Structure 1
Amino acid sequence: MTITQSNRWPWLVALLLCGWLLYQLTPILSPFLVGILLAYLGDPLVDRLERWKLSRTWGVVAVFTLFSLLLVLLILVLVPMLGKQLMHLYQLTPLALDWLQLEALPWMQMQFGLEEDFWRFDRVKQAITDNLGSTTDVVGLILSQATASGLALLAWLGNLLLVPVVGFYLLRDWDLIMAKLRKLLPRRREAMVVGLMRECHEVIGAFLRGQLLVMLALAVVYASGLMLIGLQLGLLIGVLAGLASIVPYMGFVVGIGAAIVAVLFQSGIDLYLLLGVAAVFTVGQLLEGMLLTPLLVGDRIGLHPVAVIFAVLAGGQLFGFTGVLLALPVAAVIMVLLRHVHDLYKLSDLYAPAEPPSQP
């Protein structure tokens, strides 16, 4: 039975109703989306363990054990070190304002002919200095905020505990769920829909698995190199540069800029540290361009860097953290669909060349 003009409206109403329902359920969707992400990332590993004659359930247990060990290592080792460097960065903020007020801003005033009281950074510095002593007790601050919003904390902890439960069951039944969804497809359109989903899977898988591994590797390279040359904020800047590498070349620009500023505040114009920073980021770019991206990502993504930035910002603006999680997969699906729409357009009569005028 084909969908005619008369029975098309119920499908449209149902689609709009589903969209409205999802929008209303946005506050509780985050643990389920994170669980789906964990299941999607872990499915290839479980499939490989199944090929090694391990049952699906035990393969899921092994993968979740690996994820749990990585998370515990992150919490016990990396988070305290990052916390110390964040506190150190916060304590350096008045010194940065001093440099801006006494050196950078007078130079800009001379160059651009600005008035002497054009900048008011002395008030900002005073406010930060006054609050610096009250923020040293981070645990007390967190506990006071948690006491003030106990219900919100309980809801957040509940969502956090839901993530491994949802991820475990989805990963265990992933192949079964995919098979049932395929059986629901219209028989005459199954091949076309499966082909589109395969392309979307290649794009999303290449980005989520490949690009995340590239980001992790670059964060390790940058942080290790900067800490090795003696930069005090090396770990923080390296992690920041690795996260910014979700957009090509942004990690390099953000990281080397932040590292140069950190060198200037740490020891002035130190040629050794500046050359070390340049060497670390040069090695990182060479590894990314010649080894990491071709090996882990390849040329299957097709997402323009501007499209990545716009998708993340738009998703966060519309749906908050849930929108950020959905932004890149949705952008990848839209990109695949637009590619096919472009091919259909070039085959249509609208794109056909104009016919030559007929001779009288």
Structure 2
Amino acid sequence: MTDSNRWLWLAGVFFSGWLVYLLMPILSPFLIGILLAYLGDPLVDRLEARGLSRTWGVIAVFALFGLLLVLALLFLLPSLGRQLVHLYELAPQMLDWLQQVVLPWVQVKLGLAKGFWHLEQLKSMFVGQLDKTTNVLTQLLSQATASGLALLAWLGNLLLVPVVSFYLLRDWDILVAKLRTLLPRRREGVVVGLVGECHEVLGAFLRGQMLVMLALGVVYALGLMLVGIDLGLLIGLLAGLASIVPYMGFVVGIGAALVAALFQFGGDPYPLIGVVAVFSVGQLLEGMLLTPLLVGDRIGLHPVAVIFAVLAGGQLFGFTGVLLALPVAAVIMVLLRHVHDLYKLSDLYGESGQGDSSGGSVEPPGPT
């Protein structure tokens, strides 16, 4: 590649990044639509292989997604909303319990000075906010009226998501084939190989890990509700969402569930044993069945890399960055593996064995 071509490519990359930065306010529905189309493409391909046309396969997948959304709206969201309100109402009582029961016990065990803990200000803040709950609906209506154009724009973006998803899902294979025809002929094999590896990583993570999160959320929520935890649905779903990072869902979920069980049942050991049993069963299912079956071992994303990617994406590009963080991180990991292989084959890597700092040669070790 000549110097002029390099500068042309750099200018193109810079211009593309600048354009994406300018268009960020309208990119969210398109990114969500691309994500839904990518997740739904294997289902449509299977229906198409069984004799359905591409359009009817897309309609069937959309009907399935719509049915799941309606069921969630009818059954899940009302219960979840009630538990959120219940948690908000219990906050002052939990602070009292924390201040009068838990913290004195910790204080005695650790030998801390009397009056070490002070939660009166936090408690008064929660109580003051609870007095204003009757005006929440009025405030929301006033905000919606004052920012009517913003609300209409948000609703427009929300309605745009299924439209974008439908057309992308219907023409997904055509778009992929056209993009492949644009590749340089001499580099087509290399690029197709890299894209194939990225597809494996993205597919394993986006489809597999999301299914694992959903399954764990259901297992945790049902188990905690069977144990009798009042906030079981909320804690279970929170633990399922946190499972996007390995072991974080277990740590967050069992910690919150044990605190909720201690607050609700006091020192009764049976609910605590039940909570430990629920999360132990969830971990066994995840390690022995869900992750090997749905995800496999091809992700290559370290838990620390997942956390950093999400935080960095949100810091740099807001909600759009959060949506792009994990796919971009997965692609970067694939590319870095190839860069590592090229570096191991390069002359730069081999220079370390040609001499030392004193100028003498370094002989390779002989056979043992």
TM-score band, normalised by shorter chain: over 0.9
1:204: how far off?
0.3
Match of 2:195 among 194, 197, 203: 197
Aligned to 1:169: 167
Structure 1 window deviating more from structure 2 (139-148 vs 274-283): it is 139-148
Structure 2 distance, partners of 1:142, 1:108, is 41
Give the 5 Å matches for 1:1-360: 3-107=1-105, 111=110, 113-114=112-113, 116=115, 119-136=117-134, 138-352=136-350, 354-355=353-354
Q: Report the secondary structure of 1:162's partner residue.
A: helix
Structure 2 distance, partners of 1:260, 1:286, is 19
Structure 1 window deviating more from structure 2 (101-110 vs 61-70): it is 101-110
Q: Report the secondary structure of 2:197's partner residue.
A: helix
- The answer to whether the Cα contact below 8 Å between 1:135 and 1:141 also exists between their aligned partners in 2 is no
Deviations 1:17-57 (A, max 9, x none): 11011011111100000000010000001111110110000
The residue type equivalent to 2:291 in the other structure is T
Unaligned runs of 5+ in 1: none
1:137: how far off?
5.7
- The answer to whether the Cα contact below 8 Å between 1:82 and 1:235 also exists between their aligned partners in 2 is yes
Unaligned runs of 5+ in 2: 363-368
CA RMSD of aligned residues (A): 1.7
- The answer to whether the Cα contact below 8 Å between 1:263 and 1:273 also exists between their aligned partners in 2 is yes
Structure 1 distance, partners of 2:325, 2:111, is 42
1:114: how far off?
4.5
Structure 1 window deviating more from structure 2 (126-135 vs 189-198): it is 126-135
User: Normalization by structure 2: what TM-score?
Assistant: 0.93
1:324: how far off?
0.8
- The answer to whether the Cα contact below 8 Å between 1:256 and 1:281 also exists between their aligned partners in 2 is yes
User: Normalization by structure 1: what TM-score?
Assistant: 0.95
Structure 2 distance, partners of 1:128, 1:94, is 6
- The answer to whether the Cα contact below 8 Å between 1:32 and 1:166 also exists between their aligned partners in 2 is yes
The residue type equivalent to 2:309 in the other structure is A
Deviations 1:294-338 (A, max 9, x none): 000010101000000110111111111111110000000000000
How many residue pairs get aligned? The number is 356
Structure 2 distance, partners of 1:127, 1:138, is 16
1:78/1:139 CA distance change after superposition, 3 Å: farther
